[in-house]
Amino acid sequence: MFIRFLNIIPLFFILVCVRVLSQQVTTNELTPDIIYEKVDNSVVVIIAYDNLGNVFQGSGVVIKDGLIVTNYHVCKDANRIEVKHYTKEIKSVSVYKYDELKDIMFLKTDDRTLTPINQGNSSSLKAGQRIYAVGSPEGYENSISEGIVSGFRTDANNFKLIQMTCPITDGSSGGAVLNSRGELIGLSVSGQHEGALYFAIPVNDVIAMIGTDNLYTDNSDAVNYYEIGTQANENKNYKDAEVYFSKYLEKFAGDASAYYNRGYARFKLKEYKKAISDFSAVLEKSETSESFFYRGNCYYSLKDYKNALTDYTKAIQQEPDNYDIYYNRGYANFRLKNYDEAIADWQKAIELNPEYESELNGKIKIARDEANSNITR
């Protein structure tokens, strides 16, 4: 059902939780030397060779046994990849999966001597928090630098990035960014060294890829963007869905289903005006009840109840047995003070779905009282 209210958590409870969590963070902080010792066997050097004989070097982080994550741009042109860790050389390396837009690539090896890193939670990071970067800048293997979280930004594709003061240079890409407990909270990705601007990919975006199929993307194969966007919607990763359907539509601008799916993601993100534009694009090609319904929901959310009513009515014309549409149109009529019409809609919703009866009977009574009040005025 469309219109719902959430219970508000008491402020006292929130404050207590924050206080307890803050105490835990403080007591679990480690010194830089202990952090380095903890992750030294988890951060590696990535060496990529292309067909022209060029050699590219970056860093990588062991996520699971035999699974290493790095940046896509480190290995994008490689026909052969090796992993190095001090005197150890791992030559049997294959690409497991990657996401070009997010600049993330997973590599698979048979090695089990490296140590999977402990994973943190990038969503709990705060500006000013102490962090550390471990990578191999200019080939200086497993160097550590210290800094703080400067803020949170988005890249050209609207994906989140962590801005930090930990210095990283060429060769650091794909290295580990750690919190003060030695947990991975990001993947070094880029920097503007003269301006001391350095960035990392949040670890939550990295971990979200593990176990997800169909993540191989390529600019020459936009069809994969549609598949990834669809999967993102199914997983409720609506921001990702919006990005990938936008990329797909750059090449296939006439695909109504992509506009619908992007509109749905934007609706869930509460980007109602953008969603209306997408559903309108669908309706120009084909008048579907689903597009009228969700565009009506967008109008309703913007308090444009007149247009919402129009769209709900068109949706009902195409799908006269859909109780959710009657349910929502009842609210639009109620907001427009069309009380008799609201009562009729809600009664129809109950007829089609008796589970609505306990909820809507009270609404119907309120609408009747309002209608009678208008008559007596």
Active-site amino acid positions: 73, 103, 173
User: DSSP H helical segments within the chain, as ranges?
Assistant: 11-27, 32-39, 72-75, 203-207, 223-234, 238-251, 256-268, 272-285, 289-301, 305-318, 323-335, 339-352, 357-376
Residue 352 has, within 13 A of its CA and on its CB side, a CA count of 16
Across 116-137, b (16+ Cβ under 10 Å) vs e yields bbebbebeebeeebebbbbbbb
- The closest of 153, 149, 210, 209 to 179, measured between CA atoms, is 149
- The closest of 58, 197, 59, 189 to 117, measured between CA atoms, is 59
Contact 233, 265 (CB under 8 A): yes
Contact 3, 329 (CB under 8 A): no
Give the integer Cα–Cα distance in Å for 179 and 198.
16
Q: Which two tokens stand for residue 236?
A: 């409720």
Give the integer Cα–Cα distance in Å for 296 and 338.
17
Under DSSP, is residue 95 helix (H, G, I), strand (E, B) or coil? strand
